[in-house]
Structure 1
Amino acid sequence: MGIYLSTPKTDKFSENGENDKLRFGLSSMQGWRASMEDAHAALPDLDECTSFFGVYDGHGGKVVAKFCAKFLHTQVLKNGAYSNGDLGTSIRKSFMRMDEMMQGQRGWRELSVLGDKINKFTGMIEGLIWSPRGSESNNHEDDWAFEEGPHSDFSGPTSGCTACVAVIRGNKIIVGNAGDSRCVISRKGQAYNLSRDHKPELEAERERILKAGGFIHGGRVNGSLNLARAIGDMEFKQNKFLPPEKQIVTANPDINIVELCDEDEFIVLACDGIWDCMSSQQLVDFIHEHINNETSLSAVCEKVLDKCLAPSTLGGEGCDNMTMILVQFKKPIPSSDAVTEQSSQSTPESESQSAD
């Protein structure tokens, strides 16, 4: 689904970086899509002992993905649980915080700056609808906390994005995921999914959708969205009698915490434009074929994007925006200080176990 170009845009944005514990490379490409709606964040030094990587796959516009790329990791740092070492809670609350921040008038202003198309007559910016309150909106300090709440006329963006982030500290990796972007780890060449794709047909997702008053038609929430969890998409989060985690679509992420070992080689975070074309194991195998022959990790990512790009738009697969981050661990894996976490899982989940 979507508008395609007559020829794909194959220009790539690529980046490399490293610290004393890991090295990373990333690449993104617009491809056949009429616009680029992916965004990402790669911070090997979120603080002196923590790395942060995230991919954000937008739908209905790019602004929510760009908003998350700009603000989600800053909220992880600011959350009180982070300073207490509870990284899982800080990630979870930061996902939910994105929806809160985007509902205020400052949120609307931030989203409007991140977008580049506005219709002055309708007030619509890539899926955003706002009824301004005139000069009243300018009477207060530009503060997130003040501008959230029922006094604002902006209920939030109707566009949205998936989010999959990996936070690495010591020998722990904490993955937060909402949607169908995915994080995979390679352990001795075997692919293990560290996230689960949130599709509407999954039992837990279906149950929440139906209880919240939604329905599933053609594999899509209310016949339109093929994801059960996402940031933004506020039209699916309007039930005032339910908390955010029980809405038809929720930003509430799965949190998976895994202890790394010396057998772990790398992790991959990528949007569904990659996973539509390659299974987790196929991608890990492809990386192993090329990782020692390329001058940089971003060059490996670029090869993946080129391999996944469809020759035409007839089949659909290989026609999406594509973003991939490859993070390689330096050996030996460092021992971890005591990090108090409430883990949903303590070992990687095999690809076969996480198949939809």
Structure 2
Amino acid sequence: HLEVQKHPHFNDSLRIAVESAFFRMDQMMMTEEGRRELSEYSPANNNANMNSTVKDMLLGCACVNMKRRPGAADVGSTACVAVIRGNQIIVGNAGDCRCVLSRNGQATVLTTDHKPSVPAERRRIENAGRSVVVTGGAGRIDGGIAVSRSIGKVISCMFVF
């Protein structure tokens, strides 16, 4: 939220501010210096006993952490974010978490799940040279993971995400 608030378009274009802030964070995750800077945003950063998996998610990429922690490249999460300013709301998601707005008891879904069974996601996956296998009613990338986008999960991201 700090990146969004300090963006020059925060007051006149919330959409641009959110997109730019998330793009910047995506770029930061690709460098060791950027990952260190991002880890400073974590309240857990001040906790000496912070779980090493959380540290890997904040600081790591496969090429760095696989030497130290072989499972680090396989750690990931889905996420949903909402930014509200005045009468505007901007939402975004990665994976199968969902943002729902309730107005007078009526639910309105504001996001689309990123699942291999969604036609556009399936096309994107197959265009990347991967397959979607339906197992137990759920579409799975190459018969494995049942979400088509995530934060982290570097091994899968290298090919599809």
Q: Alpha carbons of 1:222 and 1:90: their partners in 2 closer, same or farther (altered >3 Å)?
A: farther
Q: Which one of 60, 71, 76 corresponds to residue 4 of structure 2?
A: 76
Q: Is there any run of 5+ residues in structure 2 with no aligned partner, and where?
A: 66-71
Q: Does the CA-based 8 Å contact 2:62-2:154 persist in structure 1?
A: no
Larger Rg: 1
What displacement does 1:180 show? 1.6
- TM-score, structure 1 as length reference: 0.34
Q: CA deviation at 1:108?
A: 5.9
Aligned-residue CA RMSD (Å): 3.1
Alpha-carbon distance in 2 for matches of 1:80, 1:207: 36
> Which residue of the partner structure matches residue 149 of structure 2?
229
Rounded Cα–Cα distance in structure 2 between residues aligned with 1:77 and 1:172: 14
Distance in structure 2 (CA, Å) of the matches to 1:91 and 1:116: 29
* Alignment size in residue pairs: 139
Distance 2:75 2:121 in 1: 20
Query: SS of 2:101's equivalent?
Result: strand
Distance 2:21 2:144 in 1: 26
Higher helix share: 2
Q: Paired residue for 1:161? A: 77
Tell me, yes or no, if the aligned pair for 1:179 and 1:197 is still in contact at 8 Å.
Answer: yes
Higher relative contact order (CA 8 A, sep 6+): 1
Query: Does the CA contact (< 8 Å) of 1:88 and 1:174 recur in 2?
Result: yes
1:203 Cα shift?
A: 0.6
Structure 1: gaps (5+ residues) = 1-72, 119-123, 133-155, 240-247, 250-356
Question: Which contiguous aligned blocks of 4+ residues in structure 1 show a shift greater than 4 angstroms?
Answer: 124-128
TM-score under structure 2 length normalisation: 0.68
169 and 131 in structure 1: CA distance in 2 versus 1, 3 angstrom threshold = closer
Q: Distance in 2 between matches of 1:173 and 1:209?
A: 30
Q: Which of 102, 116, 119 pairs up with 2:51?
A: 116
Partner AA of 1:82 in structure 2: F
State the SS of the aligned residue for 1:81.
coil
Identity of aligned residues (%): 40
Return closer, same or farther for 1:81/1:222 CA change in 2, 3 Å cut-off.
farther
